[in-house]
Amino acid sequence: MSTDAQVLAKPTSSLCCLNGSIHEGQPKGEILSIEGVDSYIAKPGDGKDSGNIIIYSPDVNGFYNNAFLIMDVMAELSECLVLGIDYFKGFDPWKWQQDHTDNPSQDAVSIEITPKWMKTVHSKYGRKGQAKFACFGYCWGAPFVCDQLSERGICVARAFAHHANLNDANFSDLTKPLLMSLAQKDAVFKRDQRNEVVKIMEDCDKTFHVQLFSKISHGFAVQIGSLLISVRRWVKEKSLQAIGQRLSYYLAESIESSVS
């Protein structure tokens, strides 16, 4: 990363997805080890498997019930196998909020293990090149999603919601389509930054789509606030639905990033 890179989405903080609640529901997938890291696998319904793969990069909360339920729903929406990585290796941010005596430096851990994990997933689930890959992520997971749409990545399309930790190069270097699902009231990614990102992608002739929810804050796609409030539930569901539809479209059609 260039030392003079323009920061366009702030790092995670107390403003981020650590506020909220755990969703109720029983995950349908399974956890197994890939590259020595716990990984969640969600499968589509019987007879609905497209043969393609979607990778999920979790928010700053890592592996927890909300993430599992999101992957389960994505598997049904996309008719794809969905895999997620516990790139915090068992660290529990919810517990850490109560006891800050530990400083786990989870950014270093996730940055180290994710590329190896992706390489193994590509080899193990790629069906000798027949399967196509897409990816999506929330908050903390956005940089890993961006990496997969650069020349280094394996994914044909990607999406993220209320992203963090990104700079201008993450957008100017894109080679594949992008969907951004955004909150109007996001202290991590404010209006000026949002407008600058759109300008960068327009100037660089990127293929992208922006979904913007008014009067909504950072964290809406995972767990911010109570889902008993109907508008929050609607926004969360519509965001995931849009991501699933967009990724499915590019996976099914094998459309190159230069085609809108």
Hey, which residues are catalytic here? 139, 186, 218
Q: How far apart are the first and last CA of the chain?
A: 28
Residue 83 · residue 125 · CB < 8 Å = yes
Could you give the 3-state DSSP secondary structure of residue 76?
helix
How far from chain centre, in Å, is Cα 107?
16
Nearest one of 38, 252, 251, 45 to 133, comparing CA atoms = 251
Query: Pairing mode, if any, of strands 166-167 and 7-9?
Result: antiparallel
Nearest one of 207, 174, 175, 180 to 195, comparing CA atoms = 180
Taking CA atoms, 157 is separated from 145, 149, 207, in Å, by 9, 7, 10
Could you give the 3-state DSSP secondary structure of residue 209?
strand
